[in-house]
Structure 1
Amino acid sequence: MDIVVVGGGMAGARLAQQLAPYAEAHADAPDRAEAPDRTVTVTLVGEEPHPPYNRVLLAEVLAGRYEPEKITLPAVGIRTPPRRAVRLDRDARRVVCDDGTSLPYDRLVLATGSNPVLPPLRGLFEDGADELPLGVRCFRTMDDCLALASAAGHGTRVVVVGGGLLGVSAAQALAARGARVVVAQQGERLMERHLDDTAAALLRRHLEAQGVEVHTECRVRGLLTQRTPDGRRAVRSVELSDGYCLGAELVVLACGVRPRVGLARAAGLAVAQGVVVDDLLRTSDPAVHAIGDCAQHDGVLYGLAGAARDQADVLARVLVYEARTDRRARTDLRAPTAGTRAEDIRSDTAGGAPRYGGTRALTRLTLAPGPPGSGAALLDGAAPLDVAAPLDIAAFGDPEPGPGDDVLRLTDGTTGAYRKVVVREDRLVGGILLGDLAAVGTVAGVWEGDEPLPSAPLLHLLTDDGGY
């Protein structure tokens, strides 16, 4: 079976890695008939010039703590030169690329990821041009990361538009390079999708202790630019809704992402917010699958590295099963086991193709320590906290309780640790761990399992060993 994977990000690379044992066996055999264990061939198509990398660690590269090659993912599959897939010919089962090449497939996997959201700011674009002003970057790719690292030095004035996960990561990384960073967050608090008021206050003061200036409920109206000697536009300040202008040599747009579905939509595949897939991660064309940020399963867009990994693992087992059964339709399907290794695919598919049942995973972030001796009163009535240690954050589900929900909070004013879980009836539906993740293993297991809570008191759920 010839498999073409469009997208060289974390989802596509993980899938190729899981399929590698089946693609590489007897690879030197001159005739496929002489290589019965060579179940699949894999071609990975990516438009970035860099080998696949761990996008989660881009902030570490931006901060200067990792070199780019340190976050490179294993090189697997047949990776073509950098090229962009521009059209899908589903009738002929071919992928047409921007350099004119045409790649045949038996199964096609769309792992096209997502694009950064560009906010409707005055001055962002001019006269219909699609080129951002000099000094304005998103924070999504390795090229973005390297450009920001090159431009940001000691004293560089930087405005980060957006205080979500990406914005917070970029702000702290740039501050670590000595830049003067301001975060402009339109919402009421930082990381409002993941944190409650208390946790967001902890996070804010951790950033402020490192010199990051944070403004919430702050809407950016536009960018003011000036012409360079060669006629290009370069950013010089950020205009807020109240008319105040923040001087800026760099502006980072961290306003979220949107699934990249243009290729699928143009090919006539079913698209909602993302590319619609079933439990076999098939699109409306059974020869085409989708995984990662671009895929929408059971109405859910995950946008998480953990979900992309799980989908890639399940799809690897699906594809190997199909290859070994001559792609005949089967009805004896069973649920997958999350985290199955590639070498387990052979036995795991013996009784039928696996299904993808969704992902329940935590969002995690580790912020580097602040300057020695820096600190702030992080909780009401608490003593100033030394932030010379990293700040670890784990969040999952909905941290805001509804009517009738049980809420348990543990706060340590001496260390700034904060733990909270929300329980609805007998199930864990959301929570936050900040500053001390000793209980994260237990909490993650309960959350991911989606099982009724044991009868032990809820307090034990947040102790160091979970009490279970």
Structure 2
Amino acid sequence: MTRVLVVGAGMVGARVADDLLAADSAGRLDVTVLGAEATTPYNRVLLSDVVAGRYAASEIGLPPLPHDRLAVHEGVTVASVDRADRSVTTSDGRRLRYDFLVLATGARARVPDLPGLRGGEGGALPAGVHPLRTLGDATAVVAASRTARRAVVLGGGVLGLEVATGLRRRGLPVVVVHPGAGLMDRQIGSQAADVLARSLHDLGVGHRLGRGASEVVTTTGADGRRAVEGVRLSDGEVVPADLLVVTAGTVPDTDLARGAGLAVGRGVLVDEHSRTADPRVFAVGDCAEPPEGGTGLVAQGWAQSARLAELLTSGTRPPAPAPTPAGDDVVRVKAHGVDVVTMGVSGGADARTVALSDPAAGRHVEVSVVGDRLVGATCIGSPDVAADLVVAYTRRTPLPTDPARLLLTALAGEPVARVPVTEMPDEGVVCRCSSVTKGAIRAAVADGAHDVAEVAARTRASTGCGSCRADVCALLAALTPADAPA
């Protein structure tokens, strides 16, 4: 047997194990997964939904992976890798050998180096301060929100807005502190950011833009423990808070790779097949730095997993990935009360771009077209238009060459040429995150799947961002025999 050891049981690590065993028709692989968290693999994308109360912590687990050649160990961390011996040493002193090692250690929350935030080097965070990267973080934020009076979210990117609107949904006054000139400034332009800021204000979410945090203000209780009481900004203003959620980005977790002598940049340096300089060691997901650069999106990690499975089971190198596969860069912000969707690249040199910005209505729609294809769009406050644009972008539907006509037609309530999911061909992709086709869902239903959970267990559809859930439900309703169990 060939021993494959996967370090990391997150969304990508779990997918590696699943892909390997699914591709191993010869039954040659024995797969072991080590997860640092003492919990079964879960959907990290939905952590902000846990904070908002849309999901319970128990509801975001990934479908189980039962297999007689798979062992999953939870709550186990790896202390070191001995590449010469092809073994790892766990934190409890065990030594596990491998033929191939896959590092899927992910990333950890970036906690800024601010006065008052750490109690000395490596010290604990003050009470009331929480990052958001793990399920434990999410449950801690939820618990803190029950007694907090005022919250500050540090970081105005996608996760920061999801957390802020989620806390507001729980009734907390919230202020977002962001050093950039506009919210989500990595994804959207200034006009769209202005509309987004106004929409958040209308929801009761405050913001401080262009002024970074300079200090976390704390108070010390009688027990000697520090607790947050506010955030001082670069201009001297103190924003009061007894709950501070840090969403200031992530840092690839490369400590294990660095300790093993592997080359590390921002992430673990790998080739287009996720191979490190050691042909026995691979790195995938957020901890890796592939030639095309890391996107931070789970779709990239899942694509790496599929190529790795093909390489290790067939011995042949699959084609190198395209720089930006169509649809892999659609970003949906799960912010309660405001709809934000971005995709592709708006305003490219060869593109024709038009925008309609209506701050009073909380609406901004911007589209970029090259030829008769949509290459980029930003849509705020118009979910129906966003749905049409996502379909046009991901399915490369031919469009009017005049982007103004496309925009005005969509805003007038006339849909972009969109095929209902029930009328799509079987090769049409329903779940972009997992590349699940309508035909795969049809086969799952024919095999006895009667609900979304059973379809997910068979196909992985809806286990990523969750945006395809409505389409999966529509297909279930259309494909399930009338006499099947409800």
Measure the CA separation in 1 of the matches of 2:318 and 2:143.
50
Residues 279 and 357, structure 1, Cα contact 8 Å, conserved in 2: no
CA positional deviation for 1:405: 4.6
Q: Evaluate the alpha carbon distance shift between residue 126 and residue 412 of structure 1 in structure 2; reply closer, same or farther with a 3 A threshold.
A: closer
In the other structure, the counterpart of 2:170 is 177
Matched, 1:85 2:74: no
From 231, 239, 256, the equivalent of 1:238 is: 231
Distance 1:136 1:155 in 2: 11
The answer to which structure has the higher helix fraction is 2
Q: CA deviation at 1:47?
A: 0.7
Do residues 108 (structure 1) and 101 (structure 2) align? Answer: yes
1:190 matched to 2:179: no
Residue 130 of structure 1 pairs with residue 81 of structure 2: no
Residue matched to 2:461: none
Answer yes or no: is 1:364 the counterpart of 2:310.
Answer: no
Task: Give percent identity, aligned residues only.
Answer: 37
The answer as to 2:379 corresponding to 1:433 is: yes
Among 68, 71, 79, the residue aligned to 2:57: 68
On the 8 A contact 1:362/1:444 being kept in 2, the answer is no
Query: 2-side partners of 1:15 and 1:287: how far apart?
Result: 15
Distance 1:260 1:456, change over 3 A: same
- Kindly report which structure 2 residues correspond to 1:53-64, keeping only aligned pairs within 5 A, or say none: 53-64=42-53
Task: Please name the residue that 2:203 is paired with.
Answer: 210
Structure 1 residue 407 displacement after superposition = 1.2
The match for 1:51 is 40
- Could you list the per-position Cα deviations for residues 187-232 of structure 1 after superposition, in whole angstroms to 9, with x for gaps in the alignment? 1111000111232223223322221111211211101212233222
Distance change in 2, residues 1:413/1:123 (3 Å): closer
Q: Which runs of 5+ in 1 are unaligned?
A: 24-35, 323-329, 336-354, 371-390, 448-452
Matched residues in 2 for 1:363 and 1:37: separation? 37
CA distance in 2, matches of 1:443, 1:71: 28
- With normalisation by structure 1, the TM-score equals 0.79
Question: Which deviates the most, 7-16 or 403-412?
Answer: 403-412
Q: Which amino acid aligns with 2:108?
A: N
- 2:247 counterpart (247, 254, 272): 254
Aligned equivalent of 1:394, options 315, 338, 341: 341
Residues 465 and 402 of structure 1, relative CA distance in 2, 3 Å threshold: closer
- The yes-or-no answer on 1:40 pairing with 2:29 is yes
Q: Distance in 2 between matches of 1:39 and 1:123?
A: 53
SS at match of 2:207: strand
Distance 1:16 1:220 in 2: 41
- Counterpart of 2:74 in 1: which secondary structure? coil
Which amino acid counterpart does residue 211 of structure 2 have in structure 1?
A: C
Question: TM-score, normalization: structure 2?
Answer: 0.76
1:302-321 matches, within 5 Å, as: 302-321=295-314
Offset of 1:138 from its aligned partner? 0.7
Give SS of 1:439's match.
helix
Aligned to 2:19: 18
Rounded Cα–Cα distance in structure 1 between residues aligned with 2:170 and 2:400: 49
Task: Identify the residue that residue 150 of structure 1 maps to in structure 2.
Answer: 143
CA distance in 1, matches of 2:71, 2:371: 50
Tell me, in whole angstroms, the C-alpha distance in 1 between the residues paired with 2:93 and 2:369: 55
Quickly say closer, same or farther: Cα 1:110–1:358, change in 2 above 3 A: farther
Q: For 2:212 and 2:359, how far apart are their aligned partners in 1?
A: 32
Unaligned runs of 5+ in 2: 420-486
**Once the 2 structures are TM-superposed, how far is the Cα of residue 357 of structure 1 from its aligned partner?**
3.9
1:153 shift after superposition: 2.6
Q: Shift of residue 411 of structure 1?
A: 5.5
Q: 1:205 to 1:173 in 2, by over 3 A?
A: same
Q: Within 1, Cα distance between the matches of 2:177 and 2:362?
A: 25
**Structure 1 CA distance, aligned partners of 2:405 and 2:28?**
48
Structure 1 residues 51 and 15 mapped into 2: Cα distance closer, same or farther (>3 Å)?
A: same
Distance 1:410 1:317, change over 3 A: farther
Q: CA RMSD in A?
A: 2.6
Q: Which residue of 1 aligns with 2:395?
A: 445
1:413 CA displacement: 7.9
**Alpha-carbon deviations, 1:345-385, whole Å to 9, x = none?**
xxxxxxxxxx4444432242244554xxxxxxxxxxxxxxx
CA distance in 2 between counterparts of 1:221 and 1:431 reads 35
| Structure 1 pair 298–91 and aligned structure 2 pair: CA distance change class (3 A) | same
